[in-house]
Amino acid sequence: MMLNVAETCGATRALGPGLRAVVWVQGCPFHCRGCIAPDWIPDRPARHVDVADLADELLTDPDVEGFTFSGGEPMEQAPALAALIRTARERRALSLICFTGYKLEELSAEPEAKALLSEVDVLIDGRYVETKNDDRGLRGSSNQRIHHLSGRLQDTGFHFDDGPRRAEIRLRGDEALMVGVPPRAVAAEWHALGEECA
């Protein structure tokens, strides 16, 4: 099974508790104003990768203890992402955090989404609303909700709703990748830098 992947990060502490590997998928139907990753909105071919190969890549660091799925819109590729986490969990006990612009109630009625939801420990749902960005927690705006679908990450001490935000800048040759849900000031500087370089 193949995934259309915008970007990956093999190890970060900016997108949930512990050391996590991250997959951002390509393509999102929502086009939220102020999206931090506008290049990943268009539904176009990016990097096509087999889920088994991607699992190998994401498990390279032996200290990774969880995955985070974002995008783009993960639920647009839910079956392949469900296969990815199941494949990875055959080799290691992993937690899973997933961002989505859909609401949980919408997803609960979709058979393809259910396959991924059954694997998710924490779901962060709802569309990003720029005017409701309150600079708090592991979510872009205050309307987005944190759902603990399992008890796996409830007692980690990580503040999903109101903790401080973290962002990391990764440099790869002449490219830069921002990892995390950035504070507003960092996001503004990032957008300004992108416009200067365009």
Distance CA 71, CA 69 (A): 7
Distance CA 61, CA 186 (A): 28
Distance CA 60, CA 155 (A): 27
For the chain, how big is the Rg over CA atoms in Å? Answer: 16
The alpha carbon torsion through 62, 21, 166, 134 (nearest 10 deg) reads -150
Q: How confident is the model at residue 94 (pLDDT cuts 50, 70, 90)?
A: very high
The sign of the CA dihedral 12, 17, 22, 27 is negative
pLDDT (tens digit per residue) in 1-58:
999 999 999 999 999 999 999 999 999 999 999 998 999 999 999 999 999 999 999 9
Count CB-CB contacts under 10 A for residue 37. Answer: 16
- For the domain covering 2-165, report its CATH number: 3.20.20.70
Evaluate if pTM is beyond 0.75. yes
